[in-house]
Structure 1
Amino acid sequence: MSCEESSLETDDDECRLTTRRLVLRIARTGDAADIARFADDLEIAQMTSRIPHPYRLDDAHAFLARAEDELIVAITARDNDAFLGLCSLAAAGAPETAELGYWIGRPHWGRGFATEAAQAAIDYGFAVLELAAIEVRCRVINNGSRRVIQKCGFGYVGTGLSTSLAAGRVASETYRMDRRTWQSLKSWSTPR
C-alpha cells in the first residue's frame, strides 16, 4: 500500500487507509489468529471462493505467506483497532483490472463495514493504483454482498459458475466498474 495519497496516514512505519469508522492496513502475520477465528465460519467460507472449511491457524499463515500478488488489507475498527475482516484487490484477467474481494466476521455483520471498506479499496484502486477497472463476484444467494456491490455502484455483467473451496461449483454474479464510472460517482457525491 502506498502512502502517497492524502487519505493515507503513516503511523509507526505502516501505511493506513482511514475511513469514518475503519482503518484498512496491510494484513500481517499477527492477524492470523483473528483471520482463522472468523474464516472458520462455514457461512462465510461458502460465500467466498478461496476460504476452505474447516479453516485453521495454519491456513491463515499459509494465506498470508502467499498473498504477494495482491493487496490484502485487514479491516479494523478505527476506535479500538478490533479486527473485523479482510479486503483485497487481486490482479484479474485483463490488464489494469483488479478483482475486489471482502469478508467481515459474523459478529460485525449488518453495520455497513463491508460497504465502507469496499468503497475505500475501490477509491485506492482507481486513485493510487490507477486501475482501468475493478470487478467483483458474489454468489447468487448472497444478498448481503449484492447490496454492498450495488451501494458501491458496480454494474451487473452476468451470471455464471464460480468455484468455492468450501461449496464447490456455485452460481455467481459478476459486476464491473470502470474508471469513468468511478469518476462520475465521485463527482456526484462531491458537495457543491
Structure 2
Amino acid sequence: MVVERDGLLDESSLPAAPLPQEADRVRLDLPRRDDLADIVFLANNHRIAANLATMPHPFALDDAKALIRKAEMARGDNALFAIRLRSTGRFIGVARYARVEEGMPVHVGYWLGEPFWGQGLATEAVHALVDHAFTHGDMAELTAACRVTNPASRKVLIKSGFQYRDQSLIRSIAAGGTVPIERYNLERKVWKSLRSWGVRRSELA
C-alpha cells in the first residue's frame, strides 16, 4: 500500500469538499460507525500496517473510532474517505490526502483490505481521490510514496499519473523502524493532460 502520513486534519477552518466521489467499481465517502467492524477486521493486518507510516498494529476498535473522527474533522486541503464497493456499499479501505506541513505539498495515501488486492480497485480509488483533490482544492501538485518493496503500490501510482522523484527514508510504526521509500509527485498540469482515466490506464500500463 502507499505510505500514509498523518496530516493537520483538525486544524483547518475551511469548508469540507463535496462527497461522494465515484469510480467504476468504488465510491469514496465518509466512514461511519456501522463500518467499525469492517474497519477493524481489514485494518488489523500487519501486511498493511508495515507499508504505512502511522498505522498501528494491532489495530483496535479505538483506532477505528479515531479514524472516523479524523474523517469527520477533515477540512480544506485535508480529506479522509472510506473506499466502498459501489455494488454493495461495503467498506474496503481508506483513501486520504493531507497537507502534513505548512508550505509543503499535499500528500496522498491509501490502504485497501487484503481480500480486495489485485483487482484494480486501489487504482480506481486513487484516481477518484486525485480527481477530488484537484477538482475541489487549489494545490499545484500532489505527492505520494511507497515502500521500495511494494511493487503493487508503485504500479498504482504510475497508473494514476504520478512520476518518480527520488528515494528517501521514513519511519514506520508497524515495521518497527526506518524503511526505504520511493517518492512520487503529480502536478496539476499533468493531471489535466491525463484527465481521461481510460486513456491513462492504457498509456501507463
Please give the range of the TM-score, normalised by the shorter of the 2 chains.
Answer: 0.7 to 0.9
Q: Which has the higher strand share?
A: 1
Q: Over residues 96-150 of structure 1, what are the superposed CA-to-partner deviations in whole Å (9 max), with x where a residue is unaligned?
A: 7311111110111100111000011101111111221110011110111111001
Task: Assess, with a 3 A threshold, how the Cα gap between structure 1 residues 49 and 138 changes in structure 2: closer, same or farther.
Answer: same
1:52 Cα offset (Å): 1.1
TM-score (norm 1): 0.86
**Residue aligning to 1:6:** none
| Residue 184 of structure 2 corresponds to residue 169 of structure 1 | no
**Residue aligning to 2:46:** 42
3-state SS of paired residue (1:137): strand
> Is contact 1:157–1:175 with CA below 8 Å preserved after alignment?
yes
1:172 Cα offset (Å): 0.6
> Within 5 A, what are the aligned runs for 1:1-192?
1-3=16-18, 15-67=19-71, 68-69=73-74, 70-93=78-101, 95=103, 97-167=105-175, 168-186=177-195, 189=199
Amino acid corresponding to residue 47 of structure 1 in structure 2:
N
Amino acid corresponding to residue 128 of structure 1 in structure 2:
H
- State the distance in 2 between where 1:66 and 1:179 align: 26
- State the distance in 2 between where 1:48 and 1:32 align: 20
Q: Percent identity?
A: 37
- State the distance in 1 between where 2:168 and 2:102 align: 18
Greater relative contact order (CA < 8 Å, ≥ 6 in sequence): 2
Amino acid corresponding to residue 177 of structure 1 in structure 2:
L
Indicate the RMSD between aligned Cα atoms, in angstroms: 1.9
- State the distance in 2 between where 1:172 and 1:58 align: 29
1:64 Cα offset (Å): 2.6
Task: Assess, with a 3 A threshold, how the Cα gap between structure 1 residues 187 and 56 changes in structure 2: closer, same or farther.
Answer: closer
Task: Assess, with a 3 A threshold, how the Cα gap between structure 1 residues 66 and 121 changes in structure 2: closer, same or farther.
Answer: closer
1:94 Cα offset (Å): 5.7
1:187 Cα offset (Å): 6.1
Amino acid corresponding to residue 105 of structure 1 in structure 2:
G
- Larger CA deviation: 88-97 vs 155-164: 88-97
TM-score (norm 2): 0.81
Amino acid corresponding to residue 130 of structure 1 in structure 2:
D
Amino acid corresponding to residue 193 of structure 2 in structure 1:
S
- State the distance in 1 between where 2:105 and 2:37 align: 31
1:159 Cα offset (Å): 0.6
1:31 Cα offset (Å): 2.2
- State the distance in 2 between where 1:40 and 1:23 align: 22
